[in-house]
Amino acid sequence: MQRRMAEPYKIKSVELLNILDEKEREEALMEGGYNTFLIKSEHVYIDLLTDSGTSAMSDLQWAALQLGDEAYAGSKSWFRLEQAVREIYGYRYVIPTHQGRGAENLLSQLKIQPGDYVPGNMYFTTTRAHQELNGGTFVDIIIDEAHDPAAELPFKGNVDLNKLESLIHRVGADKIPYVSVAVTVNLAGGQPVSMKNLREVHELCQKHGISVMFDATRCVENAYFIKEREKGFENTPVKDILKEMMTYSDGCTMSGKKDCLVNIGGFLSMNDEDLYTRARELVVLYEGMPSYGGMAGRDMEAMAQGIYESIDDHYISHRINQVRYLGNQLIEAGVPIVRPIGGHAVFLDAK
């Protein structure tokens, strides 16, 4: 019998739930056409649809909402968010967006030309859709094992360097605007990428003058897996691992609804000044002014606070182990799931 890990927090507020009997649950399922996206949340007792935007905010995040500066330009809350991103992730420039896909839209429009190829370690739906809308072709460069739900590997999100290198040789570096690296890989079941692999991808790309853009949505989870599984990082704080990880990229898109611990928000980051200047212009058309980009001042305050809280070793260890606890229970009960158990979710092996 495995043990649960004690929570590194106290719960101060509760949200009441409806408890439906079997007949009511059946009716709710039928009403939603057996589609989990069409079932009313008030009919769901334990909601495991997604981790996106569903985490509870801390007391300090709720308090931060009150500090939100809703000025149209020059908001204090924006400067606080910009500072948090610079300090924790290490990027020079930040463009706020309403959520991750807003950042993907900007990045794809700014970097991709029709006929380009965008390699990635598997794809996320909206990320790939934006790449293709702008005339790019997605090329999967994740290791083969990532497509096998039963393969047990510590870093099943790794990029296959041979696949990347042969693509560069086949189409030419000038047809590859950037390599998109997700840390962790959602569609593979929340699988991480090793520091060694990130370093090697970056080196290879630098050699060919190609930039690396992370999908940093679950980057803190990835950093935790490195601490747990990669030799040499056992005693390094997650925040330092994260900082090193980010140095192997030239920027990122971020869905704040996951590892920034908020219910809405996102950003695009980069180190390149020219890209930043162009992004500052484009964000105005799709999201809002570069000092709020689709978020209220209070959302930016909560996100800045969430970014600082997310890198606490006790917090992230508890979070990953909570998911692992559920996954192991399912394995014990004989339910087929994607292995190994990933960071943000347990994926049922539907086949």
Ligand X SMILES: Cc1ncc(COP(=O)(O)O)c(C=O)c1O
Catalog residues that contact ligand X under the rule CB under 6 A. Answer: 52, 99-101, 124, 126-127, 182, 186, 215, 217, 255, 257, 266
Nearer to ligand X, 124 or 276 (CB): 124
Task: List strands edge to edge, sheet with 266-270.
Answer: 93-97, 266-270, 251-255, 211-215, 178-182, 117-120, 137-140
Distance CA(77)–CA(300), nearest Å, equals 6
Nearer to ligand X, 101 or 111 (CB): 101
Nearer to ligand X, 266 or 327 (CB): 266
Q: How far is the CB of 221 from ligand X (least distance, A)?
A: 11
Q: How far is the CB of 257 from ligand X (least distance, A)?
A: 5
Nearer to ligand X, 126 or 317 (CB): 126
CA distances from 65 to 58, 61, 147, 289 (A): 11, 7, 42, 20
Distance CA(321)–CA(222), nearest Å, equals 13
Q: How far is the CB of 264 from ligand X (least distance, A)?
A: 8
164 near 141, Cβ under 8 Å? Answer: yes
Q: How far is the CB of 172 from ligand X (least distance, A)?
A: 28
Nearer to ligand X, 265 or 340 (CB): 265
Strands (DSSP E) found in the chain = 93-97, 117-120, 137-140, 178-182, 211-215, 251-255, 266-270
Distance CA(295)–CA(293), nearest Å, equals 6
Residue with tokens 């009960």: 333
Q: Is 218 helix (H, G, I), strand (E, B) or coil?
A: coil
CA distances from 197 to 84, 123, 161 (A): 26, 18, 8
What is the Cβ-side half-sphere exposure of residue 37, based on CA atoms within 13 angstroms?
Answer: 0
Q: How far is the CB of 121 from ligand X (least distance, A)?
A: 11
Nearer to ligand X, 51 or 116 (CB): 51
Q: How far is the CB of 235 from ligand X (least distance, A)?
A: 29
Nearer to ligand X, 75 or 222 (CB): 222
Q: How far is the CB of 248 from ligand X (least distance, A)?
A: 18
The tokens for 333 are: 């009960």
CA distances from 202 to 28, 160, 326, 328 (A): 49, 13, 35, 35
Distance CA(56)–CA(261), nearest Å, equals 8
Nearer to ligand X, 168 or 300 (CB): 300
Q: How far is the CB of 41 from ligand X (least distance, A)?
A: 17
Q: How far is the CB of 251 from ligand X (least distance, A)?
A: 15
- Nearest in space to 159 (alpha carbons), one of 188, 116, 134: 188
Q: Is 66 helix (H, G, I), strand (E, B) or coil?
A: coil
Nearer to ligand X, 64 or 187 (CB): 187
